[in-house]
Structures are given as structure tokens and as C-alpha cells.
Amino acid sequence: MDKLQPVRGTRDLIGDDMRRHRHVVETARRVAALWGFEEWTTPIIEDTRVFARTLGDTSDVVMKEMYSFTDRGGESLTLRPEYTAGLCRALVTNGLTQSLPQKVFATGPMFRYERPQKGRYRQFHQLDAEVMGSAEPLADAEVIALGYEICRALGIADGAVMEINTLGDADSRAAYREALVAHFTTHQAHLSEDSQARLARNPLRILDSKDEGDRRIVADAPTIKPYLTDSAAAFYAALQAALERFGVPYVENPRIVRGLDYYSHTAFEFVTTKLGAQGTLFGGGRYEGMVEEMGGPHVPCVGWGAGVERFEMMLAETPPVPAPVVVVPAGEEAEGPALSVLLDLRRAGIRAEMAYRGNLKRRMERANKAGARATVILGSDEIARGVAQLKDLASGEQVEVPLAALPSKLG
């Protein structure tokens, strides 16, 4: 019989891989809670319209990458390719548009059909943070600062750069669009096929082109700053001032854009050179109109998404496994009392193990092999006196300890 393998683009999380993954998620969860972000989770499967409406019917994600299927009831369902749209749907579904703002943190698996490569999988995991229902630039700054603090807590902030840009308000973008169309029309014959198509549909997307010929033309394209309205310029200045107060170092990158009309004002990416082409650790921006697509009112939002796998790759080392305490019964008559000791230690928050079988010598060998920090040895004499022999495996020191005192001695 053939040996079954994981589906292409997926992986098992076991051992060091799982420890790295859990460390990233638990650190992010802890920091987000300290910053007042409440954790939500939404279903892995959603009505396909949740994503088709919000990502745009012509986007690469919708056209090429979504795992969509028709269920037995004839409904079109999709495995979520990103978190934001589902969170906006949840805001409306649960009647929370009357309780704004909502500061939300979420994490979980996503699914996209794309070519697997380093740090990129068909089932991957994301961290997500959103502030829903705040139009103030302080919300943008707090969301960005939260992501930066998570990276600091993981020890991966050094060597990465926070890049920010403004997309302005609707009037700013309209004026900027005209300037871009004028610039790119002059060079239209030299644009890539994709960028020529974008020129009519969404010229801002050309700024994000990876084609080398396009990039040379983009280098001379106008930036948005001269086209900002007074209010859009004030918003951007307030964001920068708040980031400085939050201690977030940043540089301005006028080429950061977002392709959908939902996005306005702030766009940002936290970028490292340590992961090659997959250098964005997290990125996002301010968006409007997405909650309305879910049947809700107008709700301004700002947020970001981050790839857990990329964070894992940035960790300097795998978090160590806490060394256990091993309970060693000397003889069959000691096994029952040893189980009680094992339970007491575990309930006291101490990682404790006991081999299922073997004589005293073999169990001690297994304790050493397991990297135990100490053994608790119980024989019939110790049980009769209500004590145990506690051996420190690093120093070799062995002392007699009352059973009731073991948790405090080992805690």
C-alpha cells in the first residue's frame, strides 16, 4: 500500500515546528490582550460572496487562488483566504455595529491555491488585528504599533523596517489617479501587458508591479503627496506624530499601494531583507466600505495581517521544551501512590512524567534520556513514611522531602 503524504503545500506541525508556531501565536495573543484587543475567531468556511464582494471579482485571489466548492445544498462556500472580510461579516452578523469601536485580534489557518515555496503554503496561518469603527489616525498608529510590539516581543524587530504611505482621501486619490494616467500613458507602449490592462482599470496597481520594465517607469512616476487635500495631509501628519510617540521607527515609502477602492489614507508594511522575496512580515492599511458589503452601516476600519510561518522563520532559536520532573516508583506496590504524586505535581503546574513500565534502573535511564531536571523516587519505605527521595539530576544531590512539600520544592 502506498504511504500517504500531506497534501501539496501543507505540512504537519510536530516537535520544533509546533513549538515555534505556538510561541509565535501565544506571544501575539498575549501582547494583543495587553493592548486591549479582544480575540475573535470566525468559521474557516464562509459564503463565497463574503470574499468575492470584498476582494473584487477580478482579483488574483478570487480568480485563481480561492478554494471554493458547491456543497450538497447547492451553496457556494469558500475556505477563507484571509481574515478581514470574515471579521467584517461577523461584526454585522453579531449586531456589533452599535458597539464601536471594536479592537479585534484573530489567528488561524487560511487557504490559497498557489505555488508552494519557502514560507508560503496552501494552508498557512495568519495573525490579524483590526480596529473597527474609528476614523481617527490614532487607531492607525495603535494597530501599527501593536504589530511592531509583537515583533519586538518575538525578538524579530531588529533588521526589519516599518514602511508607511498615505493613499489620501477620495479627492486626493482622484487627482492622483489623473496624474498617474497621464504619466503612464506617455510610456504605455513600454508597460507590461498586465500594467497596460491596469492603466484603464486601476493605475495605482502599476506602482506595485514586479516587472523590471514597469519598475523603471514607476521610478519616475509622481507621488501622491502633492495631490493630498489639506485634511488628508493633516491625517498623515497626525499618524506620524503618534507613531513617534509609540516608539515605532519608520520610513516613508510612496510606492506602497493597495489595489482595492476600499483602502484610504494609511498603508504600511513591516519589511525584512532576511527572507528574500517573501520579506513582508505584516502589512495592512485603512479601509472603508467593507462592512457595508456585508449589509452593515458605514464603518471605517484599519488593520493588518501577518504570516505566522514568516514569523517562525525569523525566530533566532526554537523555544526549549521545559525539562520535566520524572516520578519513579520502586516496585509495583509504589505505582499507585506514584500516580497520586504525579497528579499533584501536574495540578500544581509542574510538568511531570512517569514511565509506564520498567524496573528502577530502567526508569532512571529513561528519566535521564528525557532530559528530566529531577526525579521523585518512591519505594514502599518512603510511602509508609509519607516522603519521597528527590534527586536533582544536574548536581546529583538527593534529599528526602515530605510528599506534601514536593510541589513547592519543585515549583
Task: Count Cβ atoms within 10 A of the Cβ of residue 219 and give its class: 0-12 exposed, 13-18 middle, 19 or more buried.
Answer: exposed
What pLDDT, in 10s, does the model give residues 299-325? 999 999 999 999 999 999 999 989 999
Q: Is the pLDDT of residue 197 over 90?
A: no
Instruction: Report yes or no on 282 lying in a domain.
Output: yes
Residue 117 has pLDDT above 90, yes or no: no
Q: Which of 171, 170, 167 is nearest to 268 (CA)?
A: 167
Judge whether 308 lies within some domain: yes
End position of a domain, from candidates 267, 295, 314: 314
pLDDT of the residue at 260: 65
Q: Tell me: do 310 and 337 sit in the same domain.
A: no
Query: Are residues 332 and 401 part of one domain?
Result: yes
Grid cell in block for residue 176: 492622483
Q: Note whether 341 and 265 are same-domain residues.
A: no
- From 314, 333, 362, the end of a domain falls on 314
CATH number at residue 342: 3.40.50.800
Q: Are 332 and 351 in the same domain?
A: yes
- Residue 62 confidence (pLDDT): 54
The amino acid present at 159, given as its one-letter code, is: G
Q: Are residues 308 and 331 in the same domain?
A: no
Does residue 382 share a domain with residue 257?
A: no
219 domain residue, yes or no: no
Tell whether 265 and 126 lie within a shared domain.
yes
The boundaries of the domain holding residue 278 are 16-169+229-314
Q: Looking at residue 188, what DSSP letter applies?
A: G
| 206 within a domain of the structure (yes/no) | no
> Interior CA angle at 207 toward 204 and 213, to 5°?
135
Strand segments, DSSP code E, in 48-178 are 67-70, 76-79, 102-111, 123-132, 160-166
In this structure, the answer to whether residues 342 and 280 fall within a common structural domain is no
**Which pLDDT score, from 0 to 100, does residue 58 have?**
45
One domain, residues 27 and 56: yes
Which of 63-67, 214-218, 229-233, 367-371 is most confident?
A: 229-233
CA nearest to 285, candidates 307, 269, 261, 308: 269
Mark which of 314, 347, 366 sits at the end of a domain: 314
Least confident range of 152-156, 328-332, 358-362: 358-362
Looking at the DSSP bridge assignments, the partners of residue 270 are 162, 282
Specify whether the CB–CB gap between 386 and 402 falls below 8 A.
yes
Q: Are 310 and 352 found together in one domain?
A: no
State whether 109 and 47 are in the same domain.
yes
- 319 within domain boundaries: no
Please state the domain count of the chain: 2
Please determine, for residue 189, whether its predicted confidence score (pLDDT) is greater than 90.
no
Helix axes 193-201, 170-186, angle to 10 degrees: 140
50: CATH: 3.30.930.10
Whether 366 is covered by a domain: the verdict is: yes
Q: Is residue 264 part of a domain?
A: yes
Mean pLDDT, rounded, of the chain: 92
184 domain-assigned:
no
- pLDDT above 90 for 64: no
Does residue 348 surpass a pLDDT of 90?
yes
Q: Which residues pair with 76 in a beta bridge?
A: 70
Q: Are residues 360 and 284 in the same domain?
A: no
